[in-house]
Structure 1
Amino acid sequence: MMQVMAAPRTANFALPWLLLTGLLLLALAGCGQLADTPAPARQGELDLRDWHPQRDGPVELSGQWGFYWQQLLQPDELPASPPAYAPVPGYWTKYPGDLPATGFATFHLRVLVEQGSRALAIYAPGEGSAYTLWVNGERLGSVGRVGVDADTTQPARHRRTYFLRDHDGELDIVVQIANFNHRKAGFRNALILGDAEQLHTSQRLAWLADAFVIGMILVFALHYLMLFLFHREDKSSLYFSLLSLAVGLRASLTSQGLLLWLAPDAAWPWLLRLEYMAVFLTPAFYTGFMRALYPQEFPRFLLRTLWALGLAFSIVTLFSSTLFASELIPAFEVVYFSTLLVMLVCLVRVFQRRRDYWPYILAASALVGGLNTMEALHLTGRLSWGNLSHVGFLAFLLVQSLMLSVRSADKDRRLSQLSHDLEERNLSLQQSERKYRELFEDSQDVIFLADIEGHILDVSPSCEALLGYRPEEIVAMENLDQLGERSERRRMFDIVANEGSTLDFITRLNHRDGYGVPVSVAATQRRDENGRLIGFQGYVRNLSDRFEAQEQRQRAERLEQIATLDPLTRCFNRRYFQDASTREIARAGRQGSDLSLILFDLDHFKRINDTHGHATGDKVLISIARLVNSKIRSSDVLARYGGEEFVVMLPETQVDQALQRAEDLRAQVESVVIETTKGERIGVTVSLGVAQWQRGESLTDLLERADRALYVAKKAGRNLARVAEA
C-alpha cells in the first residue's frame, strides 16, 4: 500500500509564483477598461456631449436602439420612427414577442457628441454572425455577409476598428445583423466609441496580451508533448499537453481572435465547431491529467464517462449545423457542473490524504475552476463577461511548472507512485478480463477478435443468431468473402489501423440462407506490450430493426407531404388550407383574436402560358410561391388555391396590417424578374383581395368577400390590393 506522504518542503516557494500569477492576472484584466456610460441611450438617442474621449476614455454605445425586425434597411430607407426599441447589448430572443433565434434585423442609434472633438473611432467586438455598419450614411464595412436566410447569410466573427470621418456633433449609426447559425442571436456585443488613437493603442495592447498568453500556453503544450514522447509512461504530460492545446485553441478563437486574424479566409462555422469541440473535450483532458497524478482519488469511470460524453458532443457538433451545435451548450453546462462536483469530491480526498503537491493543486484548481465556471456562465449568456479562462490557465501552468520541478527532484516518491500505478493497472486488467469473458459469452451483439490480416481468431456465440454460422465455422473460414464484400472489410480494417478505431461502420453481411443483414461494426486496435499492432477487436450489431423503422418513417413522411403539399409549388394545397383555416377561425372565435386573409392571383397568367409555354408558366408559379413563402411569418399559412390563385391566412392580424402586408407582397412580386425557358426576362404582377374575419362568419363567406375585393382590384387595372367590404 502506498504511503501517504506530507507535502514537499519546497511548497513554501509557491508564494512568489502565486504573487506573480496574481500580478499577471491584474495586468491582463486591466487592459481596455471602459469609461462609465454617462446615461444609456433612450428611444434611439444617446447624448454624449458632456463626454470627452481623451479624458474619459472609450464608452459603450448601450441602451435603447431603434429596432426593425425582419427588415434590412439602409440609412436612407429608415422611417421617421422605429416600430420598437430594443436594449443593446442583448439577445433578440429575449425581446418581447417571442422572437426566434434565426432572423435578421436593423438597429439604429443617433449619438450626440461634442463638436470639434478629435478623430473618433468605433470598435466592433463582433457578433458571431454577420453585420453591416453605417455611420452618417457611409457604409464603413461588414463582417460576413448579411442575408435574409441561411443560404444568403455568411457568418463570421472578426473584431474591427472603424475610423470615422469628420462629423458635426452627431453620429447616425445603422447596423444590419443577420443570424441563422447560433442560438445567441442579436446585438450581443455593444459597439465602443472612443478616441481613434486610444482605441487603436488599446487594441494593439489587447492583441499583444492575448498573443503573449496564447503563446505561453502553446509553448507549454509543446514542452509537455515532448516530455511525453521521451517518457511515455507518464500520461500526465500527454493529458496536460492536450489540455493546453484545447485551451490555446479556444483562446485563439475567442478573446481577440488571433486565429481568425491569422486565417481570415477560414470558414467560420468550422472554426466555431473547433471551439465547441475544444470546450467539450477539456473536462476529459483535465480529468485524465488529474487521474495520472492521483489514480486512487480520481476513478477510471469518471475519465471514461467524460471521454464518452466529450466525444459524443464533439461528433454531434461535427456533423450538425452550428445552430444545433450551439444549442448543445446548455446541456453541456449540466455535464460540466456535475463533473465539477464529482471532481471537487476527488480533490477533497487529495487534500485530506495530503497527497504529493496538494498545495499546488489546491491553488491551481481553485483558480481554473473559478474562471472556467465564469466561462461556462458566459457561454450560456448568464454573464456578459467572463472570457478569462485562458488567462487563468496560464496562471495554472506557472503553478504547475513549479510543481513539476519539485516532482522531478523527488525520484523516490515518483518510483513509489509508479509502483502503485502498476499494481492498480494489473488489478484493473484482471477485472477487465473477467468482465470481458462474461460479456463475450452473454452479449447479444457479435463480439470478435481478428488478426492483423483480418482473419477471425475468436467470435461470440451470438454470431449464429445473426448470420446462421456457429463460432467454430467462422473461425475455420480461410476466406471470409462469403460473409461480405472483401473491399468493405478491408476498408473497415484500414480505418481502424490508421485512425485507431471506428465507432459506427455501416455495412451489410451475408446470412447463411443468402439474404443480407444490415449491421453496425465498432472496432479498435489490439496492441502488444511494446505498442505493436497485432490485430483488431470489436462488436457487430444488427441494424435490421433500425432500418425497417427508418423506411417506415420515410414512407409516412412522403405520404404526409403528398396529402398536404402542392406538387408543383411545394406550398400547402387547398385541402390543407381549408383544414388549417377552419382551426384558425375556431381559435379566433374562442379567444376573440384578429384574423385576416389575402387572396391573390397572377395577372394575365394565361398570356404567359400562351406566349412562353407552360414550362415557363410553371416556373413563374414556383418562383412567386417561393418569394411569398420567404416573406411571411412562421404562423401564417400560404396555399395554392387553384391554378394561378394563392391564399395567405394571417392569424393575429387586423385588416389594416393585412393590407400593408398585401402591398408589400405586391411590390416585391412586381420587382421580380423571371427568365423564361428561352432565356427571355419577363416580369409579373399580382392582384390581391384582403378581408378580415368577422365573428360568426364561415371560411366560405370570408373567401367570397376576399374574392370580391380581388375582382375589384382587377377591374381597377390590376397590380393592386383592395380591402373587402364588411
Structure 2
Amino acid sequence: MTDPSKTNTELIQENALLKQRIRELERAESERIRIEEAYKDSELKYRSLIEHSSDVVFCVDRKGKYKFVNQVFASTFGKTPDYFLGKTFWDIYPKEHADQRQAANIKVFETGESQSLEVVVPLPDRTLYYIAKANPVKDEKWKVVLNVTHAIDITERKLMEEALRESEKKYRELSIIDDLTQLYNSRYFHQQMRIEIERVNRYGQPLTLMLLDLDNFKAFNDAYGHVEGDQVLFRVGQVVKRWLRHTDSAYRYGGEEFTIMLPMTTSADGAVTAERIRTEFKKEIFIPEPGKQVHMTLSIGLGQYIPQEELRTFIHRVDQLMYQGKRSGKDRVCCEP
C-alpha cells in the first residue's frame, strides 16, 4: 500500500526506481534464460559429439558408477548405453581391472587433474587395449563432480608389437638353435661358456661340463642312411632335455657330439646326471628297417672347471676324458678321479 504521507514527487521517483529495477530483473532473467539455452545447446552439441565419436567416451562418479557411456563403449560389450547406467567398474570388469580403473578415478577426484593410463578390456572372444585419459569435470566451486574419460583403441598396435616381439624372438632362437636336435648350437655354446667362466672366476661357484659322443654313429649312418641317422641325433636331444634342470643347458657341438653345461654343479653331482642320460638313451629303440631293432650308446666325458683355466684348455680336457671312455670300451661316463 502507498504511504499517504509521501508527496507526488517522491511517489514518481519511487515508481521510476521500481520500473528500473523491474527492467533490470527482466534483463537478468532474459540473460539467465539465454545462458541456459546456450548451455543446453552446448550440452546437446557436446553430447552429440561424444555419442558419435569413433572413440570410447564415458562418465563416472567418485564411486566408479557410470553416468553416461557412448555407443562405441556400449557396442564393445554388445550392449546398449542404457545397460551401463548405474553400474560400477566391478559390475563390468574382473576385480583387478576394476581396481586399476578406480585407482585412476580416485586420483582425478582427489587431485583435480587428468590421469592417463593403459587399460585392458578382456572379452570372451578377444582382448582389447586402450590408452585412456580421465578428465575432471568441476562445478562452479571447482569441486570435481564427474570423471569424463576418453579412450583410444590401440589393440591393433599392441598386436603388431607383440607379433614383432615374437618374430624377433623366433629369429634369435633360429640363430642359436640347432634345427635338427632343437638344442643350442655350438656358436651359442662358446658365448655361454665365456659368461659362465667369468661368473665362476668372480664368485667361485663350481661349473661342470659334459661332452657326449654317439658310439659307432658312422657305421649306423653307413648301414641305414642319413635319414635314420638324423632320427638318432634328434632322440639324443630329446633324452638330454628330459634330464636337465632349468639352470642347465645343452648344445649340439658338432656332428654327433654334444655338450651339456651344468652351472653351480660339482663333477660328482654332474656324474649322476651323466649316468642317467647314458642309461636312458641306451633304452631308446631304433627301427632303421622293418623287423630290425637297434640300440645306440653314448660315451661321456665330464670335468669340473678349474679357476682361471683357459676356455680352450677346459674343453680340451673334457674332450680327452670322453675319448678315454671310447678307448675303454665306449658306453660309459669318464671323469677325473
| Structure-2-length-normalised TM-score | 0.56
Aligned to 2:183: 571
Cα deviation, 1:495-551, whole Å, max 9, x if unaligned, reads xxxxxxx76569xxxxxxxxxxxx99xxxxxxxxxxxxxxxxxx9957542343233
Aligned to 2:298: 686
CA contact (8 A) 1:596 1:649 kept: yes
Aligned to 2:90: 305
1:586 aligns with 2:198: yes
Cα deviation, 1:19-42, whole Å, max 9, x if unaligned, reads xxxxxxxxxxxxxxxxxxxxxxxx
Cα deviation, 1:372-391, whole Å, max 9, x if unaligned, reads xxxxxxxxxxxxxxxxxxxx
CA contact (8 A) 2:243 2:273 kept: no
Q: Which amino acid aligns with 2:209?
A: L
Return the offset for 1:560: 0.4
1:60-75 pair list within 5 angstroms: none
Paired residue secondary structure (1:598): strand
Distance in 1 (alpha carbons) for counterparts of 2:291 and 2:90: 60
Q: How many residues align?
A: 212
Aligned to 2:248: 636
Distance in 2 (alpha carbons) for counterparts of 1:540 and 1:579: 44
Cα deviation, 1:424-473, whole Å, max 9, x if unaligned, reads xxxxxxxxxxxxxxxxxxxxxxxxxxxxxxxxxxxxxxxxxxxxxxxxxx
Distance in 2 (alpha carbons) for counterparts of 1:544 and 1:632: 39
Paired residue secondary structure (2:94): helix
1:281-300 pair list within 5 angstroms: 300=86
Tell me which structure has the larger Cα radius of gyration.
2
Cα deviation, 1:7-60, whole Å, max 9, x if unaligned, reads xxxxxxxxxxxxxxxxxxxxxxxxxxxxxxxxxxxxxxxxxxxxxxxxxxxxxx
Return the offset for 1:689: 0.5
- Shift of the 722–542 alpha-carbon distance from structure 1 to 2, 3 Å rule, reads closer
Distance in 1 (alpha carbons) for counterparts of 2:251 and 2:163: 29
Q: Which amino acid aligns with 1:309?
A: P
Distance in 2 (alpha carbons) for counterparts of 1:505 and 1:665: 44
Return the offset for 1:678: 4.6
Distance in 1 (alpha carbons) for counterparts of 2:207 and 2:221: 34
1:625 aligns with 2:231: no
Aligned to 1:558: 170
1:605 aligns with 2:217: yes
Q: Which amino acid aligns with 1:308?
A: Y
Equivalent residue for 1:669, pick from 281, 284, 290: 281
Paired residue secondary structure (2:179): coil
Aligned to 1:646: 258
Equivalent residue for 1:616, pick from 228, 236, 253: 228
Higher RCO (Cα < 8 Å, 6 or more apart) = 2
Distance in 1 (alpha carbons) for counterparts of 2:303 and 2:324: 13
Aligned to 2:53: none
Return the offset for 1:687: 0.2
Paired residue secondary structure (1:722): strand
Return the offset for 1:674: 2.5
1:25-174 pair list within 5 angstroms: none
Aligned to 2:50: none
Q: Which amino acid aligns with 1:566?
A: D
CA contact (8 A) 1:601 1:644 kept: yes
1:440-479 pair list within 5 angstroms: none
Paired residue secondary structure (2:251): strand
5+ long unaligned stretches in structure 1: 1-298, 314-331, 339-501, 507-518, 521-538
Return the offset for 1:556: 0.7
Aligned to 1:703: 315
Return the offset for 1:672: 1.6
Cα deviation, 1:232-287, whole Å, max 9, x if unaligned, reads xxxxxxxxxxxxxxxxxxxxxxxxxxxxxxxxxxxxxxxxxxxxxxxxxxxxxxxx
Distance in 2 (alpha carbons) for counterparts of 1:542 and 1:647: 45
Distance in 1 (alpha carbons) for counterparts of 2:289 and 2:202: 49
Return the offset for 1:670: 1.2
Distance in 2 (alpha carbons) for counterparts of 1:609 and 1:503: 53
Distance in 2 (alpha carbons) for counterparts of 1:588 and 1:540: 51
1:521-532 pair list within 5 angstroms: none
1:502-517 pair list within 5 angstroms: none
Distance in 2 (alpha carbons) for counterparts of 1:704 and 1:724: 13
Return the offset for 1:653: 1.2
- Shift of the 656–541 alpha-carbon distance from structure 1 to 2, 3 Å rule, reads closer
CA contact (8 A) 1:616 1:677 kept: no
Distance in 1 (alpha carbons) for counterparts of 2:214 and 2:255: 10
Aligned to 1:721: 333
Percent of aligned pairs sharing the same letter:
28
- Shift of the 680–549 alpha-carbon distance from structure 1 to 2, 3 Å rule, reads farther
- Shift of the 672–721 alpha-carbon distance from structure 1 to 2, 3 Å rule, reads same
CA contact (8 A) 1:582 1:699 kept: yes
Q: Which amino acid aligns with 1:689?
A: G
5+ long unaligned stretches in structure 2: 1-84, 103-122, 130-150
Equivalent residue for 2:157, pick from 525, 545, 549: 545
Q: Which amino acid aligns with 1:675?
A: I
